[in-house]
Amino acid sequence: MKAALVLIEMQNDYFPGGRMPLEESVEVGRKVQDVLGFYRAKKLPIMHIQQISTRPNATHFLPCTRGVEFYAATQPEKSETVIRKHYPNSFKDTNLLAFLQKQGIEHIVIAGMMTHMSIEATTRAAYDLGITCTVLMDGCTTMSLEFNHMLVPMQTVHYAFLGALSPLYATTVSAADHMQTISTRLLAETA
């Protein structure tokens, strides 16, 4: 089964100095950088999903700002596909599905921002479209939320959404375990 790495919203606004910095974004950025380097070394398909705000009164990912640009450590290379979107679901009004179908990709490995928003929306949409998913649980993060005057801590939000996705919508694994699995599979294919 052909798989591709899909990095969602690895953009400056979610990192320190951005308009909406997320908790643990730098640590997640390092994990994503490791996985990205691994996929590049193995010459496996990589896609970068870039959110660009088009809503009136948007506070982040504004066009023509530093915040909408990709985080330096995970910048796309020229040979890698960039898909721009305007909604949490990376498939909505984009050519992502057509691209995956054209490339024969049936499985996507998802990392990036935010677990409770774009990671969740994209994973569920992929499942509905017949694409299997792996979500790198330490390769994504989110933020604390407030609901009904109660603070829901970031870790609770993160793990609740990962728990809701797994096991039906996606397999959830650590970045290290995922890279080990890919290495083992590639080794078996060459034997």
Q: Quote the pLDDT of residue 146.
A: 96
With CA atoms as reference, report the closest residue to 107 among 64, 44, 48, 53: 44
Distance (Å, rounded) from C-alpha 179 to C-alpha 129?
25
**Residue 1 above 80 pLDDT?**
no
With CA atoms as reference, report the closest residue to 8 among 125, 154, 179, 101: 125
Burial of 83 (0-12, 13-18, 19+ CB in 10 A): middle
Provide the domain count of the chain: 1
Q: Is 174 helix (H, G, I), strand (E, B) or coil?
A: coil
Distance (Å, rounded) from C-alpha 99 to C-alpha 24?
31
Domain containing 43 equals 3-190
**Residue 10 above 70 pLDDT?**
yes
Distance (Å, rounded) from C-alpha 118 to C-alpha 140?
10
The CATH number that applies at residue 88 is 3.40.50.850
Q: Quote the pLDDT of residue 186.
A: 81
Each residue of 61-74: pLDDT tens digit? Answer: 999 999 999 999 99
Model confidence at 187, pLDDT cuts 50, 70, 90, reads: confident
Each residue of 30-43: pLDDT tens digit? Answer: 999 999 999 999 99
